[in-house]
Copies of this chain bind each other. A is one copy, B any other.
Amino acid sequence: MKSYRKELYFNIPSRRGLVNITPQVQQAIRDSGIKEGLVLINAMNITASVFINDDESGLHQDFETWLEGLAPEKPYSRYHHNGFEDNADAHLKRSVMGRETVVAVTDGKLDFGTWEQIFYYEFDGKRQKHVLIKIIGE
């Protein structure tokens, strides 16, 4: 069994933002030399998500509106967590979208359906955050 590890770094200039990281994950699989296995991609920060969906800007606006409805950012005072912080909503939004995804590696590639793309979703930006890629297989 082989394993491979890589971190990606992000510094999103706004509080929230989406980045398509599919090319970086595919490159990590190539670099690993692993042909058959599993790849785990997870946010290493607890106010961000890694998830799979469509790369369509209208949908991304819909995610913004929808998550803000489910877990509003303001007023900050609505959350117990916001004593010294203002990011409780980021922890909740990330819980909806998920911390991680696991994808099959087949024949050295992401084993994906037609429209699957991997995204990093920042919910508390303006600082350095990171994502872990871990691949195991042969």
Contact = CB atoms under 8 A, between A and B. Distances in A.
A52 B102 contact: no
Contacts of A97: 95
B111 A51 contact: no
B62 A53 contact: no
Interface size range on A against B: 35 or more
Contacts of A83: 58
B71 A38 contact: no
A63 B40 CA distance: 26
A57 B70 CA distance: 21
A44 B81 contact: no
A64 to B, nearest CB: 9
